[in-house]
């Protein structure tokens, strides 16, 4: 059921084009709408959702209100999970791209520097041994 709730003020609200007092809308009208929905949780949820979106009080029906709040929280969690998954996918996809020539040159320079440092360490070890082999017992 689609309610047209507009022009909500502290004293009145316009529901389906009819101006009613806020107390009537939150009390009698909401009770009638919920009673008309019966045990159909989806219809009750839709009514409560519209009342909450309009800024009206639904505390007279705490179970239905809590169901709507739980559904909103679950929808927000799902949305956040989708955003996180999209971010992970973007990062993963970016890693597949071919590196630029500058990045390749930087990686090569870094690798060559590391190789040079390893060769220098090896030479220092061999010099400390007093001969050119790795083994100290030769």
Per residue in 68-84, pLDDT (tens digit) is 999 999 999 999 999 99
The per-residue pLDDT of the chain, averaged, comes to 90
Q: Which residue do the tokens 């949780």 mark?
A: 41
* Three-state DSSP class for residue 14: strand
Q: Which pLDDT does position 137 carry in this prediction?
A: 60
Percent of the chain's residues with pLDDT above 90: 74
Q: Determine if residue 28 is left, alpha or beta; phi over 0 gives left, psi from -120 to 50 gives alpha, anything else beta.
A: alpha
Give the C-alpha separation, 76 to 117, whole Å. 52
DSSP β-bridge partners for residue 6 = 14
Q: Which residue do the tokens 């709040």 mark?
A: 69
pTM: 0.63
Average pLDDT estimate for 36-58 = 93
Question: Domain map of the chain by residue range?
Answer: 5-87, 99-138
Residue 12 CB burial class (10 angstroms; 0-12, 13-18, ≥19): middle
Q: Which pLDDT does position 136 carry in this prediction?
A: 55
């Amino acid at each position: 059921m689609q309610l047209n709730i507009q022009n909500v003020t502290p004293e009145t609200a316009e529901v389906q084009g009819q101006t009613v007092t806020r107390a009537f809308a939150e009390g009698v009208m909401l009770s009638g709408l919920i009673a008309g929905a019966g045990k159909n949780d989806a219809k009750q949820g839709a009514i409560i959702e519209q009342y909450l979106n309009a800024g009206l009080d639904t505390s007279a029906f705490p179970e239905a209100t809590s169901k709507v709040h739980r559904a909103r929280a679950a929808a927000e969690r799902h949305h956040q999970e989708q955003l996180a998954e999209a971010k992970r996918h973007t990062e993963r996809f970016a890693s597949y791209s071919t590196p630029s020539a500058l990045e390749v040159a930087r990686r090569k320079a870094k690798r060559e520097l590391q190789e040079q440092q390893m060769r220098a360490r090896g030479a220092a070890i061999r010099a400390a041994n007093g001969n050119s082999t790795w083994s100290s017992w030769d």
